[in-house]
Amino acid sequence: MKDLQQLARPNIWALKPYSSARDEYKGKTAEVFLDANESPYNQPYNRYPDPLQLDLKKAISGLKQVPVENIFLGNGSDEAIDLVYRVFCRPGIDNVVAIEPTYGMYEVCADINDVEYRRVPLDEHFQLSAAALLAACDEHTKAIWLCSPNNPTGNLLLREEVEKVLRGFDGIVVVDEAYSDFSDARPFRADLPLYPNLVVLNTMSKAFGAAALRLGMAFASADIIGLMNKVKYPYNINSLTQETVRKILGNTGLLHQHLVDILQARRSMELALESLPICLRLYPTDANFILMRVTDADAIYNYLVDQGIIVRNRNHVHLCAGCLRITIGTRSENTRLLSALRKYR
């Protein structure tokens, strides 16, 4: 790996971050806060939230088995994705390489930041070739985007190929594991100590059922986390989110039960969908959704919309022609979808 100073944008490396009122009195116990121009009324909302979210990070650290110093928290994973560009990629000069198809935000954030986005198609089993990804890189490639289990395909990327990318590339490798809670595979965050160039993304939006609260995580070396913290808005996670997520994480029994329910429902949906006449192919999934190739994706999508049932039409996505992406819902939601599809003519 190149050293971090070579990889980071020079202005970011040199950046002196905003120092908040609370940063400047360190650790001392205090009871009277007249430093931040807050109102003394309307508690508890009158106070700025903890900019580094220490209590929440401690809870996440225990759950994910990642030290606090290796955790960044963002306003959704989307913030972490955007920060990778803002920290490492010089607009109009640097580029990134990504698998195709994959999650759309990597490309949107590249476009916003005026960074060239290079797509390397997966093979017909939706697998990556490390050699092809590395061949697409040049001296201006700052990051490679991987997503496993991948969206919209649902499959895990081959660990061996991902490791070849991690070892063979001298820049940042992002592995988005938004769906890893639904998989038995060993998550890449467990290998952080092995790879100084690895950034793993996780989210509260999927297995933890908290998409509305907007909390995403990045796990990486303390130095990379330091750069991300320097660039983020000082109070990027509001108090309500910090507090509510802590409560959700405290109820591990319920979280586990939801996960078990979703995985059982996924199995029954696989069997039921497979037996439908409209089903041409069901792809293997390690996520909470199933990609299915059907006889006429656009017509079936529109038919379902008319029934008040929304799935994701991936018909026009590279390698996904004819495919619908179906999220696993509650028993009754899944049953409604199946009975509508059984009636489709």
The nearest distance, CB 342 to ligand PLP, in angstroms, is 28
Site string for ligand PLP, 110-149 (x = CB under 6 A): -------------------------------------x--
- Output b/e per residue, 65-101; b: 16+ Cβ within 10 A: ebebebbbbbbbbbbbbbbbbbbbbbeeebbbbbbbb
Q: Which stretch binds ligand PLP (CB under 6 A): 5-13, 75-83, 191-199, 268-276?
A: 75-83
Cα separation values, 13 from 4, 217, 230, Å: 9, 22, 9
Neighbours of 231 (CB within 10 A): 15
Instruction: Classify burial at 42, counting beta carbons within 10 Å of its beta carbon; exposed 0-12, middle 13-18, buried 19 or more.
Output: exposed
In a 3-state reduction of DSSP, which class is residue 49? coil
**Which of 21, 36, 190, 211 touches ligand PLP (CB under 6 A)?**
211
Phi, psi of 120 (to 5 degrees): -120, 110
Neighbours of 235 (CB within 10 A): 14
Residue positions counted in the chain: 345
Residues in 173-202 at the binding interface with ligand PLP, rule: CB under 6 A: 176, 178
Instruction: Say if strands 116-121 and 95-100 run parallel, antiparallel, or are unpaired.
Output: parallel
319 touches 101 (CB < 8 A): yes
Residues in Cβ contact with 36 at an 8 Å cutoff, skipping those fewer than 6 apart: 20, 21, 22, 47, 48
The nearest distance, CB 79 to ligand PLP, in angstroms, is 7
Q: Is residue 77 at the binding interface for ligand PLP, with CB under 6 A as the rule? A: yes
Structure tokens at 120: 């390397």
Task: CB nearer to ligand PLP: give 109 or 178.
Answer: 178
Residues in 32-61 at the binding interface with ligand PLP, rule: CB under 6 A: none
**Which of 207, 216, 269, 326 touches ligand PLP (CB under 6 A)?**
216
Q: Is residue 285 at the binding interface for ligand PLP, with CB under 6 A as the rule? A: no
Task: CB nearer to ligand PLP: give 147 or 200.
Answer: 147
- Please give the size of the binding site for ligand PLP, defined by CB under 6 A: 13
Task: CB nearer to ligand PLP: give 66 or 178.
Answer: 178
Q: Is residue 236 at the binding interface for ligand PLP, with CB under 6 A as the rule? A: no
Residues in Cβ contact with 342 at an 8 Å cutoff, skipping those fewer than 6 apart: 276
Q: Is residue 245 at the binding interface for ligand PLP, with CB under 6 A as the rule? A: no
Distance CA 26, CA 155 (A): 47
Q: Is residue 100 at the binding interface for ligand PLP, with CB under 6 A as the rule? A: no
The nearest distance, CB 320 to ligand PLP, in angstroms, is 14
**Which of 15, 48, 63, 76 touches ligand PLP (CB under 6 A)?**
76
Task: CB nearer to ligand PLP: give 115 or 217.
Answer: 217
**Which of 141, 203, 313, 334 touches ligand PLP (CB under 6 A)?**
203
Q: Which residues of this chain interact with ligand PLP, rule CB under 6 A?
A: 76-78, 103, 147, 151, 176, 178, 203, 205-206, 211, 216
